[in-house]
Amino acid sequence: MHITESAKHSFYENVHRFASFGIIQISLEGTFESVNPAVCRMFQYTEEELLGFRFGQLSHPQEPFQSLADVKPLLKENAIEFQQRYIQKSGNMIWCLVNLSLIYDELGTPLYYISQVIDITEQKNSEIKLQETVERYTSLKRYNHDAVISFDLEGRIINGNKMAAKLTGYSIEKELAGMEISRLIGEANVRKILAQALHDDTVEQQIDAIITKNGSKIPVLSSIAPIFINQKNIGFYLIAKDITEQKELLLAKNIAESTNKAKSEFLAMMSHEIRTPMNGVIGMTDILLETTELSDEQKEYLEIIRRSGNTLLSIINDILDLSKIEAGRTDLQETIFDVRQCIVETLDILSPRADEKRLSMTYSIGHDVPDYVYGDADRIKQILINLVGNAIKFTPSGEISLGLRKISKDQKRTHLEFTVKDTGIGIPPDRLQEIFEPFSQIDHFMKRNHEGTGLGLAISQKLAHLMGGSIRAVSDGKNGSTFTFEVSLQQKGKPVLLDESDVRRAGTSLNMLIAEDNYINQLVLRKMLETMGHSVTVTENGEEVVKKAASGGYDIIFMDVHMPHMNGYEAAKELKSVLPADQCPLIVAVTANALKGDREKCLDAGMDEYVSKPLKREVLSKIVDKYINTRLTT
Provide the percentage of residues in the chain whose pLDDT is more than 90: 21
Q: Which of 1-10, 367-376, 405-414 has the lowest mean pLDDT?
A: 1-10
Question: Which tens digits make up the pLDDT trace of 339-355?
Answer: 998 898 888 888 888 99
Of 46-55, 82-91, 133-142, 454-463, least confident by mean pLDDT is 133-142
| d(C-alpha 183, C-alpha 207), whole Å | 13
Q: Would you state the pLDDT for residue 202?
A: 47
The CATH code for residues 5-119 is: 3.30.450.20
Average pLDDT of the segment spanning 83-98: 92
The CA–CA distances, whole Å, from 12 to 1, 4, 19, 112 equal 18, 13, 10, 17
Full-model pTM: 0.46
Could you tell me which CATH number the domain at 124-242 has?
3.30.450.20
Would you say residue 154 has pLDDT above 70? yes
Question: Mean pLDDT over residues 389-409, rounded?
Answer: 91
Q: Alpha-carbon distance 50 to 23, whole Å?
A: 12
Q: Which fold has domain 335-491?
A: Heat Shock Protein 90 (3.30.565)
Q: Residue 47 in contact with residue 70, Cβ under 8 Å?
A: no
Q: What pLDDT, on a 0 to 100 scale, did the predictor assign at position 384?
A: 92
| pLDDT of amino acid 203 | 44
Q: Which residues contact 481 (CB under 8 A, 6 or more apart)?
A: 391, 394, 421, 422, 424, 426, 427, 473, 474, 475
Report pLDDT for 504: 45
**Which pLDDT does position 471 carry in this prediction?**
93
Let me know the angle formed at the C-alpha of 87 by 81 and 88, rounded to the nearest 5 degrees: 110
Between 509 and 206, residue with greater pLDDT: 509
| Poorest-pLDDT segment among 186-200, 474-488, 500-514 | 500-514
Average pLDDT over residues 194-206: 58
Nearest to 527 by CA among 589, 449, 620: 620
Residue 604 confidence (pLDDT): 83
Question: What is the mean predicted confidence (pLDDT) over 117-143?
Answer: 67
> Does residue 142 have a pLDDT over 50?
no
**Where is pLDDT greater, at 494 or 357?**
357
Neighbours of 109 (CB within 10 A): 7
- The predicted model gives 315-338 an average pLDDT of 70
Confidence of residue 130 (pLDDT cuts 50, 70, 90): low
Share of the chain above pLDDT 70, in %: 79
Mean pLDDT on 148-174? 85
Q: Which of 79-93, 109-123, 240-254, 380-394 has the lowest mean pLDDT?
A: 240-254
Average pLDDT estimate for 99-116: 90
Residue 599 confidence (pLDDT) above 60: yes
Bigger pLDDT: 191 vs 72 = 72
Q: If 0-12 CB within 10 Å is exposed, 13-18 middle and 19+ buried, where does residue 443 land?
A: exposed
The pLDDT of residue 500 is 43
For residue 587, pLDDT over 50 is answered with yes
More confident residue, 500 or 319: 319
Q: Mean per-residue pLDDT for 501-508?
A: 51
pLDDT grade for 248, boundaries at 50, 70 and 90: confident
State the CATH class of domain 503-632: alpha beta
Confidence grade of residue 151 (pLDDT, cut at 50, 70, 90): confident
* Mean pLDDT, all residues of the chain: 81
Question: For residue 181, what pLDDT is reported?
Answer: 87
pLDDT the model gives residue 391: 93
